[in-house]
A and B are shown apart, each in its own frame.
Chain A
Amino acid sequence: MIEDFATVYAAEIARRIRSRPFIFGLVIGVLGITLLTRLPTMMGDAFSGSSTIVLLGDPSLTARAKPLLEKEYTVAQVLPDQPVDETLLKRDHAGAAFVLGRAKDGLHVVVYARDPGSMGQRAIARALLPLQLEITLNRSAAEVGTISRIPVTVQPLASKFTSANQAAAVRGIAYTLIFFLYLLILLNSQLVMSSVAEEKTSRIAELLVASVNPTALLTGKILSSATLGLLQLAAWIATATFLGGNGIASDRGTTTGIFSFASALEVITPLMVVAFLVYFLVGFLQLATLFAAAASLINRTEDLGSITMPLVLPVVAAFFIAIATLGAPDTPLSVACSYIPVLSPFVMFARIAVSNVPVWQIALSLAINLAALYLIALFAGKVYRVGMLLYGRAPSLKQIWSVLAS
């Protein structure tokens, strides 16, 4: 079995490394990274944190501040002054808590934000200026200059970031890595699918399963594709490092709220690296196995699209949910999706990248995914064994089921 696997693995690597889809994927990835590093402003919107806030402080101030802030933010709740903690934000899925108080020069604002980088101090001060003027009406003209500068202090809360630059950098790299994940998982799963479809439609499948254990055949295909995926990843990372190191990316250390690739590379944590590799492997193995099973049921390559479309759609959805998760990692949707197989490799990785996900949640997500992978492998393995020998009209679900049950 191991020897069969090794033979298939080596042959698949040799065959596919020269194939157009692999080279195409490699080049597309490199071009994509170049585009990402050169046009970081395109991604600015994706990096903004949640615009939902909780307003706290003197009721006479918060009541008047609420309509002013609602032009910029969604005010989920107005509360009297009280200690601000993570629970308070989680309850309303808010990104920040604004605490209003009176100081010597009028209004004083402390912002406790999950993502300090997404809180523009000037914008907050501008929004609250009418209230400042209202409560400092009796000041002298000489004091007006001081009054118009409302002190806004932004402090991180329930966030893994210590500065706005870091937050933007991590979001930038997380976005890029999710893009990598998407490309790697989808492209390489499609390579496996094409390979199975080629063997099925060229009728060589029967000769193969007569010569080698189908499990070894399928495993060799999938793991060779995983290896090529990691090779692609290495090439992409090398490109990103090269471009970042040569200052092609946006300016290092700016506070534009857009990530700098060079600084972003410095904020990648070991957890992010491990999570990326683990979720790539889990996501790829799940999808590639399902794709292989689906491809084993077709008789013509023209049928590939229709049979794999239902499998591609969840991956596309997962990509967009993961991008949204970068801005709001603790919404019920993000948390729920981080446990759902096929979706979670993208969504849980996004959460890990931009927030402090409890260890038990990561462990639970992995356990669910590995269990799902086991079930998918059992199911897909049987479909593959049977599907590779089925020719003629495409089998109906009922026929497939009856064959699987036999």
Chain B
Amino acid sequence: MLVVNHVRKDFGSVRAVSDVHFSIDDATTFGLLGPNGAGKTTTMRMILGILVPDAGSVTWNGAAIHDESRRHFGYLPEERGIYGKMKVREQIAYFAKLHRLREPEVSKRVDSWIERLGLNVYADRPCAELSKGNQQKVQVACASVHGPQLLVLDEPFSGLDPVNAEILIGVLGELKANGTTLILSSHQMWQLEELCERFCIIAGGSNRVEGTLAQLRSAWPTRVVRVGFAGTEESSEYTVPADTDFAAMLREFVAKGPVTKFEALEPSLHEIYLRAIGENAA
């Protein structure tokens, strides 16, 4: 279990993170959201032990992050990096060794990841010769080859075409099924809405909202009701308080005339996000 306990991080006079807190159970997919400059990357770096919080703490399975726990972490940073002259196979093997895997396990896992990500054709070619999407797959393999217990992915879908995005979603699903805890950060809300079980939206370096999508929706103050009437093609939309008695509302509409459609829409993650960061702006 990962616990981020009210962490703070300053860089000189700049406060990058003022108060971020959440906890993630094992084998959970967690979405960390926020606008640019919200403190997501700094928070991720603190989780990974790259940066040390100035206040608060980060614990993994009850212990502070240290070199040994870092062995079981994987990281795909937002700014992709790769050794251009190194061959694909060598690159993945290097990261496997950095995570203390040894032969023959290294070769076995490298082959497996090359196969899984469809990189066989490129395995013995320098990474610089690969397309951006294929380079990104190499980086995913580098971050995952050791079978991490915690995998942090910052904007993992940016630059991927729909086919490769599907491959990545499949890989993440397999990792999760094998017990890996995933932390995802992305601006593509629909993908996070599909993948993640819990979310934390941060802005200005501190928590705005945190919880499951159902919890976030239950805290939303209004609902949009879409009603269709016989004889008209377009539906009408009504914004009502969240605690509205929708059955009573439907009865009222039916009493006025034939109703062809009646639906109370839950807020999307995108709407929740915009409202959360809007509150911060205010």
Question: Which residues of A are in contact with B by a Cβ distance under 8 Å?
Answer: 1, 3-4, 7-8, 11, 15, 198-199, 202-213, 389, 391, 399, 402-403, 405-406
- Let me know if A4 and B81 touch, CB within 8 A: no
Residues of A within 8 A of B97 (CB): 7, 11
Interface pair A403/B12, CB less than 8 Å apart = yes
The residues of B that contact A204 with a CB separation of less than 8 Å are 81-83
Check B240 for interface membership: any CB of A closer than 8 A.
no
3 tightest CB-CB pairs across the interface, nearest first? A402-B12, A204-B81, A203-B81
Which residues 70-96 of B have a CB within 8 angstroms of A? 70, 73, 75-77, 79-86, 94-95
Interface membership of B32, Cβ < 8 A: no
- Is B232 in the interface zone, CB < 8 Å from A? no
Whether the Cβ atoms of A213 and B81 lie closer than 8 Å is no
Q: How far is it, in angstroms, between the C-alpha of A207 and the C-alpha of B146 when the chains are bound?
A: 14
Number of chain B interface residues as a range = 20 to 34
With A15-B86, A406-B54 as known contacts, state yes or no: A210 contacts B73, CB within 8 Å.
yes
Instruction: Among A203, A213, A403, point to the contact of B79 (Cβ < 8 A).
Output: A203
A205 touches B67 (CB 8 A): no
A11 CA to B86 CA, complexed, in Å: 11
Name the distance in Å between A210's Cβ and chain B's nearest Cβ.
4
Nearest chain A CB to B37's CB is how many angstroms away?
A: 12
A211 CB contacts on chain B under 8 angstroms: 70, 75, 95, 98-99
Cβ of A7: which chain B residues have Cβ within 8 Å of it?
94, 97-98
Query: Across the interface, do A209 and B50 meet the contact criterion of CB distance under 8 Å?
Result: yes
CB <8 Å contact, A206 and B79:
yes
**Residues of B close to A15: CB separation below 8 A:** 83, 85-86
Say whether A406 contacts B82, CB under 8 Å: no
- How far, in whole Å, are A209 and B45 apart by their CA atoms in the complex? 10
Q: Which residues of B contact A213 (CB under 8 A)?
A: 67
Closest beta carbon of chain A to B181's beta carbon, Å: 16
Are B80 and A203 interface neighbours, CB within 8 A?
yes
Would you call A389 and B143 a contact (CB within 8 A)?
Answer: no
Asked if B131 is at the interface (CB within 8 A of a chain A CB), the reply is no
Q: How far is the CB of B251 from chain A (nearest CB, A)?
A: 58
Cα(A202)–Cα(B77), bound, Å:
12
- Please name 24 pairs of A and B residues whose Cβ atoms are closer than 8 Å in the assembled complex, sorted by A: A7-B97, A7-B98, A11-B97, A202-B81, A203-B77, A203-B79, A204-B83, A206-B77, A206-B79, A207-B75, A207-B81, A207-B139, A208-B98, A209-B50, A210-B48, A211-B95, A211-B98, A389-B50, A391-B79, A402-B13, A403-B11, A403-B12, A406-B11, A406-B54
- For residue B10, CB closer than 8 A to chain A, the reply is yes
Judged by DSSP, the binding face of B is loop
B70, A210: Cβ atoms closer than 8 Å = yes
Q: Which of B13, B45, B100 contacts A3 (CB 8 A)?
A: B100
Chain A residues whose CB sits within 8 angstroms of the CB of B12 once the complex forms: 399, 402-403, 405-406
Is B83 a contact of A210 with CB atoms below 8 Å? no
CA of A212 to CA of B97 in the docked complex: distance in angstroms?
A: 10
Chain B residues whose C-beta falls within 8 Å of the C-beta of A206 in the assembled complex: 50, 75, 77, 79, 81
B142 at interface, CB cutoff 8 A: yes
Determine the residue in chain B with the shortest Cβ distance to A201: B81
Nearest-CB residue, chain B, relative to A200:
B81
Question: Which residues B135-172 have CB closer than 8 A to chain A?
Answer: 139, 142-143
Task: Please report the C-alpha to C-alpha distance between residue A181 and residue B82 in the assembled complex, in whole angstroms.
Answer: 34
* Bound-state Cα–Cα, A15 to B94, Å: 11
Q: Given A402-B11, A402-B13, A406-B12, 12 more contacts at CB 8 Å?
A: A3-B100, A7-B94, A11-B97, A198-B83, A202-B84, A204-B81, A204-B82, A208-B81, A210-B75, A210-B77, A389-B45, A406-B11
Interface members, chain B 35-72 (any A CB < 8 Å): 45, 48-51, 54, 67, 70
How many Å lie between the Cα of A3 and that of B95 in the bound state?
13
The residues of A that contact B81 with a CB separation of less than 8 Å are 199, 202-208
A1 to B86, CA, bound (A): 24
Closest A residue, CB atoms, query B12: A402
Give the residues in chain A near B48, CB-CB below 8 Å.
210
CB distance from A115 to the nearest CB of B (A): 50
Residue with the highest number of chain B CB atoms closer than 10 Å, among A8, A199, A210: A210
Within the assembled complex, what's the spacing in Å between the Cα atoms of A7 and B97?
7
Which residues of chain B are within 8 angstroms of A205 by Cβ–Cβ distance? 81
Minimum Cβ distance to chain B for residue A406 (Å): 6
Q: How far is the CA of A213 from the CA of B36 in the complex (A)?
A: 28
Closest A residue to B73 by beta carbon equals A210
